[in-house]
Amino acid sequence: MQGYLTRRRFISRTAVCGVSMALLGPTSILAQTKRPHPLRLYHTHTGESLSIDFSPHSCEPGTRAAINHFLRDFRTGEVHPIDTELLSLLCAIQRSAGSTGTYEIISGYRSEKTNASLRKKSGGVAKKSLHMRGRAVDVRLTDLPTTALRDLAWSQQGGGVGYYRKSNFVHLDTGRVRRW
């Protein structure tokens, strides 16, 4: 019964959530989500690192440009705007895990040319991949097993969550909520 949400477990978790809201108050909870969150990123293909304090409500143009460049198509060098909701999702996962680790980026933005090339090599690449719209990222988190990262990502209900056990990474996107 470990994977199932029993009635007793549901009531217990609901009570904990209610007590937390009563003690912290809605203003404190909202303030926590608006505070900048430190994000440390490492790109496994380029060897580049990026450390930022990310806040979707006050993301400065310089920070936005740095993110877009960092998550560029590393094969072509093409830069594309990255969805800030995707970065908010990374922050939310890290907060819920209590993680201070570094996100290892396997893939961020992909140009149409790169996506088409990858589709020829693998059946697992979507024709209309959200990577091509700056709305997807493939990641690991250094202080969390990928299975835990997958589960935390799914609990956020922020979009698609794909788990690639053999390659040891998790796909996250801001599309419709689904999993594979």
Residue-range domain boundaries for the chain:
1-34, 36-179
Strands (DSSP E) along 30-179, which ranges?
37-43, 49-54, 103-107, 136-141, 160-164, 169-173, 178-179
pLDDT, tens digit, for every residue of 88-143? 999 999 999 999 999 999 999 999 999 999 989 887 788 899 999 999 999 999 99
Rounded to whole angstroms, the Cα distance separating 7 from 150 reads 24
Burial group, residue 76, by CB count within 10 angstroms (0-12, 13-18, 19+): middle
Mean pLDDT score of the chain: 86
For residue 14, pLDDT over 70 is answered with no
Please report, for residues 16, 30, 128, the alpha-carbon distance to residue 125 in angstroms, rounded to integers and kept in the order given. 41, 37, 9
**Tokens in use for 97?**
């895990």
User: Which class is 36-179 in CATH?
Assistant: alpha beta
Residues 6 or more apart whose CB falls under 8 angstroms from that of 139 comprise 90, 103, 104, 105, 106, 149, 169, 170, 172
